[in-house]
Amino acid sequence: MNEMLMNSKNITPCGIQKQDVRVPSKEVLRSSGQVQSLSRALKLLNALSYHPQGLTLSELAREVGLPNSTAHRLLTTLQNERYVRFDNERSVWMIGVQAFQVGSAFIRSRDLVQIARPIMRRLMHAAGETSNLGMIDQCEVIYLAQVETRKMMRTITGPGGRAYVHASAIGKAVLAFAPEHVREKLFSCWDPRPLTMRTITSEPALRAELEKIRKQGYAIDDEETAVGLRCVASVIFDENAEAIAGVSISGPTARITDARLNQLAELVMEAAFDITQEIGGRWQIGIEPQKKELSQGEEA
């Protein structure tokens, strides 16, 4: 996990994973059936979205790989539709109000469970264990969705089920990256009851565990909720860089062994990263997961 450092070239100052904004060649556009002018205009919008302070015409044209004259014609069209605006005082182009309205429509229609489920399914196949989606509700974790493994031994807490934050991997992962006032609110209301001999029941120990989670990017429930059960979880962030949910894999200790923990942590972080990207979120963990190819036969 320590080698999975973020590639600064692909991460903006806002923490957003930067996509390729270079204009494809005419041959690529023709072979893929794309409309050239539309593709170019969208690349200009994408480039501006990564520079909230704005870009001059020359800077923007250079970033997407267009002549200044072509970029200016496209920007003028986008300006007429209010997708971009020109700041006369600084002579820079910026994102316009219409782009915000379109983006807001996506946020309003976004369904976390629907977006997460295909990624959870891939996670289940890659890990060979049940994948779960949950969020913190006051002092508990509520499970929103689950994709079960086909193996005989598996966890049974389904959607609507609840768990204690301090004893669950999702709860600890989300809490670790939550704002300080959210953590302090939980410490004022949590019930540190021991569910097993491994449950963390002291505030200093839990605070130390959260600090460890922030450094490594994932949390482990090591038989803290139930004897014989292990979970590994990481965090999903929204467009405001807030930890809103967590995704995990869970299974018996006989299968989630010490030797597999690093591999499973990478898979879970990859799933959390992908869901964050799909909902337009801003990844706030200082480690970017490396993509791993699924073994033949794992994909359903």
Q: Number of structural domains, the chain?
A: 2
Percent of the chain clearing pLDDT 70 (strictly above): 79
Q: Is 231 exposed, middle or buried (0-12, 13-18, 19+ CB in 10 A)?
A: buried
* Co-location of 125 and 148 in the same domain: yes
C-alpha distance across the termini of the chain, in Å: 27
Indicate whether 140 and 247 sit together in one domain: yes
Mean pLDDT of all residues in 210-234: 94
- 96: domain CATH number is 1.10.10.10
Phi, psi of 193 (to 5 degrees): -70, 145
- Give the CA-trace dihedral at 289, 3, 9, 246, to 10 degrees: 30
Q: Domain residues for 94?
A: 13-107
Q: Is residue 287 part of a domain?
A: no
From 58, 90, 107, give the residue that closes a domain.
107
Of 72-76, 78-82, 185-189, which gets the smallest average pLDDT? 185-189
Domain annotation covers residue 299 = no
Rounded to an integer, what distance in angstroms lies between the CA atom of residue 217 and that of residue 265?
9
* Same-domain check for residues 79 and 163: no
Same domain, 64 and 118: no
Same domain, 87 and 127: no
Q: Is residue 157 part of a domain?
A: yes
Assess whether 150 and 45 both reside in one domain: no
- Across the range 185-196, mean pLDDT stands at 83
Residues 59 and 186 in one domain: no
Each residue of 85-97: b (16+ CB within 10 Å) or e? Answer: beeeeeebbbbbe
Greater model confidence, 51 or 78: 78
Mean pLDDT across 3-20:
39
pTM: 0.66
132 CB-near residues (< 8 Å, 6+ apart): 120, 143, 145, 146, 155, 157, 170, 231, 233, 247, 248, 249, 250
At 115, is the secondary structure helix, strand, or coil? helix
Same domain, 146 and 271: yes
Residue 6 lies in a domain: no
Q: What CATH number has the domain bearing residue 150? A: 3.30.450.40
Last residue of a domain, one of 67, 91, 107: 107
272-281: average pLDDT? 92
Does any domain span residue 297? no
Using the predicted structure, report yes or no on whether residue 18 has a pLDDT greater than 80.
Answer: no
Q: How confident is the model at residue 161 (pLDDT cuts 50, 70, 90)?
A: confident
Alpha-carbon span 69 to 117, nearest angstrom: 44
